[in-house]
C-alpha cells in the first residue's frame, strides 16, 4: 500500500512539475499588450557574477542595428517598454539617447539580478497610437541614487537624471563617442561644478558610493578627478601618474598598479563600516580606514575644491553616479561589466530575434504574398484573360528554354569530345578512307560505336561528315586520276560546309522565337490588362458616383496585377534568352573555326602534284 501511494505521489509531483513548466512557458510567451506589435527577448546572463548585487540594479541596454529593429519603433523610441518574464510587470527604464537615423540607442533599465543565474524579459515596441501613454521615467534608478550624470547633452550643462535636479552650474565640453554615447571632456582648467543641495549634503560617517568612467589623455602627477573640501574635511579622487588614489581629509590610500592612458577605466568608491574602499574596473584596489566627513560644499569634477592642488584632470569622463548607500561589491562589478565595451558586456545582456510586426524575418514577406490572393479576388474578367495569355507564354517559353538547356548541354559535351579526337585525326586527313562510310563515321577507326552515338549531337561532327562526303564525291568523280583536289573543288566543298553550318545554326536557335515573343509581348499584354482594368474601374466609379479610397484601391490593385504578371513573363525570359544566345554564339564560333581549319588541312593534304605549292591557298582565298 505504501509503495502504491509513493508511486502515486511521485506521479502526481511529476505531472505538477510538467504542468507548472508549461504554464511558465505559456506565461513567458504570452503577449503583454496587443497595441505593441513587436517584441524581442532579452537575456540577462549573470553567470560571471559571483557576489550579490543587491535587490535590483539599473543596467545599460545598448541598442544598435545588429540587435534591434529601429524601423519598427517610433523615431524617438518613446514606445519602448520592458516587461518582465511574467508578461505583466513593466520594468522602469530611462532613455539616455536614441538616434533612429544612426541606429543607436542607450537605455537604462531597472531589473533584479541574481548572481550565477539567467533571467529573461522582453522589450516591446511598435505602438504608433498617438494616444499611447508616456513611459514612467522616475523609477529607472533607485531612491538611493542622489545624482546621475550621463553627459549626453551637447554643449549644455550636465543634467541630473536621478530626478533630484542636482544639475551642474555651467556647460561642459562634449566628448562624442565616449564609452556610453557622449561624455564630457575635461581640459584641466575648467572643472564641472555641481552645487550643493539637500540631497547632496554629506553627514559625518554616512554611507556613500561614487562611480564613473575615466579616460586620461596622458599620465599626470596628482591629477584631481573629483573633489569636495570644506575646512579640514575633504574627499579627493586623483590619478598620480595613472595610479588611482583616494584621499580622505589628508589620509591617502596606498599606490597599486596604474591604469593606461588613452583607455577607459571604471573607478568606484564605497564608504561604510569605518572604511572607504576604492575599486578599479570592478575589482577591489585600495582602501582608507576612514569615514565620510561632513561636507556641504560644491562637488568639483576635474579640479581640487580646496584650491591647494592646481593639477586638474585632463581627459574624458562618462557616467557619474552618486548614491547615499554603500553598494555591495557585486553591484560595482556588475556596473563595470555592463557599462563597459568588452565581450563580457555583450554576454551579460543580449537581445534575441524580433517577434511579430511586418518587419519580422519571413513574416512580412509571407504577409505580402498573401496580399496577392486578396488582390486576385477583385480581378475582372479582362484581367484574367491577360493573365491567362501571360501564363501560356510562360509555359511555352520555359518549356523551350528547358529543352534548349538540355540540347546545348549535349552539344557542348559532344563538341568537346570531338575536338579531342580531331587533334589526332587532323595531322593527316589522307589516313581516312573517304570512300568508306564506316571509316568516316569512326574517324579512321579511332571512335567506337558508343562514342559515335554521342558524337551525333556534335555540330562539328556533322560538318566533318559533310566535308568527308564532299571529298569522297570529288575524288570518285575524277576517278582518282589526280591525287589531290583542285582549287575550284575546295571552294565548292567550303560552300557545302558553310551551308551545313547554317543548317546547324537553325537547329541551335530553333524555338528561341518563343522567348523573344515573351520578352516583347509579355509586358504589353499585361499593360493591356491593366489599362482595360483601370478604365472599367473608373467607369464603375463614375456610374455609381461613389468616390473613396476603398472603392478605387481594390480595382486599381487588381488591374496592376496584370502588369506584374507580364513583367514576370518578360524578365526571366530576357535573362534566359541572353544566356542561351551567348552559348549558341560560342558553338557557332567553334564551327567557323573548325571549317577554316578543315579547309586548310584539306588544301594541304589533297594538293595536286602538278600544282605549285601555295596555289591551292590562293584559289580558296
**Residue 365 in this model has a pLDDT that exceeds 90:** no
What distance in Å separates the CA atoms of residue 171 and residue 169, rounded to the nearest whole number?
A: 7
pLDDT at residue 618 in the model: 44
- Residue 422: band (very low, low, confident or very high) from pLDDT cuts 50, 70, 90: confident
Instruction: Pick from 2-6, 63-67, 173-177, 191-195 the range whose average pLDDT is largest.
Output: 191-195
Cβ atoms within 10 Å, residue 192: 24
Q: Which residue has the cell 566533318?
A: 464
If you average pLDDT over every residue of the chain, what do you get? 84
% of residues, the chain, pLDDT over 70? 86
Q: Which residue has the cell 596622458?
A: 218
Widest CA span in the chain: 134
**Residue 357 in this model has a pLDDT that exceeds 90:** no
Mean pLDDT within 64-91: 91
Domains (range + CATH), the chain:
145-254+284-324 (2.60.120.200), 380-607+616-621 (no CATH)
**Residue 433 in this model has a pLDDT that exceeds 80:** no
User: To the nearest 10°, the Cα dihedral for 406, 409, 411, 412?
Assistant: 170
pLDDT at residue 16 in the model: 42
Mean pLDDT within 128-133: 85
The cell numbers describing 17, all together, are 512539475
Which residue has better confidence, 50 or 334?
A: 334
Mean pLDDT within 83-110: 91
% of residues, the chain, pLDDT over 90? 46
CA torsion sign for 100, 105, 111, 117 is: positive
pLDDT at residue 374 in the model: 63
- Residue 609: band (very low, low, confident or very high) from pLDDT cuts 50, 70, 90: low
Q: What is the pLDDT of residues 495-531, one digit of tens each?
A: 989 998 999 999 899 988 989 998 988 899 889 988 8
* Three-state DSSP state, 352: strand
**Residue 621 in this model has a pLDDT that exceeds 70:** no
Instruction: Pick from 349-353, 379-383, 445-449, 601-605 the range whose average pLDDT is largest.
Output: 349-353
What distance in Å separates the CA atoms of residue 547 and residue 429, rounded to the nearest whole number?
A: 83
Mean pLDDT within 447-472: 84
**DSSP state string for 560-582:** HHHHHHHHHHHHHHHHHHHHHHH
Which residue has better confidence, 547 or 516?
A: 516
Mean pLDDT within 244-269: 94
Which residue has better confidence, 363 or 486?
A: 486
- Residue 15: band (very low, low, confident or very high) from pLDDT cuts 50, 70, 90: very low
pLDDT at residue 3 in the model: 46
**Residue 126 in this model has a pLDDT that exceeds 50:** yes
Q: What is the pLDDT of residues 531-541, one digit of tens each?
A: 888 888 788 77
What distance in Å separates the CA atoms of residue 178 and residue 176, rounded to the nearest whole number?
A: 6
Mean pLDDT within 156-180: 92
**Residue 581 in this model has a pLDDT that exceeds 50:** yes
When computed from its CA atoms, the radius of gyration of the chain, rounded to whole angstroms, is 43
What distance in Å separates the CA atoms of residue 295 and residue 200, rounded to the nearest whole number?
A: 9
Mean pLDDT within 215-220: 93
- Contact between 246 and 253 under an 8 Å Cβ cutoff? The reply is yes
**Residue 348 in this model has a pLDDT that exceeds 80:** yes
- Residue 612: band (very low, low, confident or very high) from pLDDT cuts 50, 70, 90: low
pLDDT at residue 582 in the model: 93
**Residue 28 in this model has a pLDDT that exceeds 60:** no
Instruction: Pick from 110-114, 131-135, 578-582 the range whose average pLDDT is largest.
Output: 578-582
- Residue 620: band (very low, low, confident or very high) from pLDDT cuts 50, 70, 90: very low
Q: What is the pLDDT of residues 39-51, one digit of tens each?
A: 999 999 988 888 8
299-301 vs 223-230, strand pairing mode: antiparallel
pLDDT at residue 567 in the model: 92
265-272 vs 275-280, strand pairing mode: antiparallel
pLDDT at residue 18 in the model: 40
Burial bucket for residue 526 (CB in 10 Å: 0-12, 13-18, 19+): buried
**Residue 290 in this model has a pLDDT that exceeds 60:** yes
pLDDT at residue 113 in the model: 87
**Residue 453 in this model has a pLDDT that exceeds 70:** yes
pLDDT at residue 26 in the model: 42
What distance in Å separates the CA atoms of residue 258 and residue 132, rounded to the nearest whole number?
A: 51
The cell numbers describing 189, all together, are 582648467
Write down the pTM of the prediction.
Answer: 0.56
What letter would DSSP give residue 424? H
Which residue has better confidence, 421 or 551?
A: 421
pLDDT at residue 538 in the model: 82
Report how far apart, in Å, the C-alpha atoms of 415 and of each of 203, 411, 438, 497 are: 98, 6, 20, 16
Beta-bridge partner residues of 185: 173, 316
In terms of DSSP H, where are the helices of 176-253?
none
**Residue 189 in this model has a pLDDT that exceeds 50:** yes
What is the 3-state secondary structure of 55-84?
A: CCEEEEEEEECCCCCHHHCCCCCCCCEEEE
pLDDT at residue 4 in the model: 37
Amino acid at each position: 500500500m505504501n509503495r502504491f501511494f509513493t508511486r502515486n505521489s511521485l506521479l502526481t509531483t511529476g505531472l505538477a512539475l510538467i504542468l507548472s513548466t508549461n504554464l511558465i512557458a505559456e506565461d513567458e510567451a504570452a503577449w503583454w499588450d496587443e497595441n505593441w506589435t513587436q517584441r524581442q527577448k532579452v537575456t540577462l546572463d549573470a553567470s560571471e557574477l559571483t557576489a550579490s548585487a543587491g535587490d535590483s540594479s539599473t543596467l545599460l541596454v545598448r541598442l544598435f542595428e545588429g540587435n534591434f529593429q529601429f524601423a519598427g519603433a517610433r523615431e524617438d523610441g518613446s514606445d519602448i517598454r520592458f516587461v518582465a518574464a511574467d508578461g505583466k510587470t513593466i520594468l522602469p527604464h530611462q532613455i539616455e539617447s536614441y538616434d533612429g537615423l544612426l541606429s543607436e540607442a542607450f537605455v537604462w533599465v531597472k531589473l533584479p539580478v541574481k548572481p550565477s543565474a539567467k533571467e529573461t524579459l522582453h522589450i516591446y515596441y511598435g505602438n504608433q497610437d498617438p494616444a499611447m501613454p508616456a513611459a514612467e521615467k522616475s523609477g529607472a534608478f533607485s531612491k538611493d541614487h542622489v545624482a546621475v550624470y550621463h553627459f549626453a547633452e551637447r554643449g549644455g550643462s550636465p543634467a541630473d537624471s536621478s530626478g533630484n535636479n542636482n544639475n551642474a552650474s555651467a556647460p561642459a565640453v562634449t566628448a562624442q563617442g565616449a564609452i556610453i554615447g557622449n561624455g564630457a571632456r575635461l581640459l584641466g582648467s575648467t572643472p564641472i561644478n555641481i552645487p550643493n543641495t539637500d540631497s547632496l549634503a554629506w553627514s559625518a560617517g554616512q554611507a556613500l558610493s561614487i562611480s564613473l568612467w575615466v579616460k586620461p589623455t596622458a599620465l599626470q602627477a596628482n591629477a584631481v578627478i573629483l573633489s569636495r573640501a570644506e575646512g579640514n574635511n575633504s574627499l579627493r579622487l586623483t590619478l598620480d601618474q595613472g595610479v588611482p588614489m583616494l584621499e580622505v581629509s589628508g589620509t591617502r590610500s596606498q599606490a597599486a598598479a596604474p591604469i593606461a592612458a588613452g583607455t577607459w577605466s571604471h573607478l568606484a568608491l564605497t564608504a561604510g563600516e569605518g572604511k572607504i574602499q576604492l575599486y578599479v574596473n570592478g575589482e577591489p584596489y585600495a582602501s582608507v580606514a576612514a569615514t565620510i566627513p561632513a561636507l556641504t560644499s560644491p562637488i568639483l569634477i576635474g579640479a581640487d575644491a580646496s584650491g591647494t592642488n592646481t593639477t586638474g584632470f585632463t581627459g574624458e569622463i562618462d557616467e557619474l553616479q552618486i548614491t547615499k548607500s554603500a553598494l555591495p561589491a557585486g553591484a560595482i562589478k556588475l556596473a563595470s561589466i555592463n557599462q563597459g565595451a568588452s565581450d563580457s558586456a555583450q554576454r551579460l545582456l543580449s537581445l534575441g530575434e524580433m517577434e511579430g510586426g511586418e518587419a519580422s524575418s519571413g513574416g512580412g514577406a509571407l504577409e505580402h504574398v498573401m496580399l496577392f490572393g486578396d488582390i486576385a479576388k477583385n480581378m475582372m474578367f479582362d484581367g484574367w484573360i491577360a493573365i491567362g495569355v501571360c501564363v501560356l507564354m510562360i509555359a511555352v517559353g520555359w518549356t523551350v528554354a528547358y529543352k534548349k538547356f538540355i540540347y546545348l548541354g549535349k552539344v557542348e559535351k559532344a563538341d568537346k569530345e570531338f575536338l579531342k579526337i580531331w587533334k589526332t585525326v587532323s595531322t593527316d586527313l589522307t589516313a581516312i578512307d573517304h570512300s568508306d562510310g564506316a571509316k568516316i563515321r569512326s574517324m579512321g577507326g579511332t571512335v567506337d560505336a558508343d562514342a559515335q552515338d554521342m558524337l551525333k549531337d556534335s555540330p562539328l561532327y556533322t560538318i566533318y561528315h559533310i566535308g568527308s562526303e564532299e571529298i569522297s564525291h570529288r575524288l570518285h568523280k575524277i576517278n582518282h586520276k589526280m591525287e589531290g583536289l583542285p582549287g575550284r573543288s575546295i571552294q565548292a566543298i567550303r560552300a557545302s560546309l558553310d551551308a551545313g553550318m547554317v543548317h546547324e545554326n537553325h537547329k541551335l536557335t530553333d524555338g528561341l522565337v518563343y522567348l523573344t515573343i515573351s520578352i516583347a509581348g509579355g509586358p504589353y499584354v499585361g499593360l493591356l490588362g491593366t489599362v482595360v482594368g483601370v478604365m472599367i474601374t473608373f467607369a464603375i466609379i463614375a456610374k455609381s458616383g461613389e468616390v473613396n479610397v476603398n472603392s478605387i484601391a481594390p480595382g486599381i490593385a487588381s488591374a496592376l496585377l496584370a502588369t506584374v504578371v507580364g513583367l514576370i513573363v518578360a524578365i526571366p525570359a530576357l535573362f534566359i534568352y541572353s544566356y542561351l544566345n551567348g552559348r549558341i554564339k560560342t558553338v557557332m564560333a567553334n564551327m567557323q573555326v573548325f571549317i577554316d581549319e578543315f579547309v586548310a588541312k584539306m588544301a594541304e593534304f589533297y594538293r595536286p602534284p602538278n600544282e605549285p605549292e601555295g596555289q591551292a591557298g590562293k584559289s580558296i582565298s
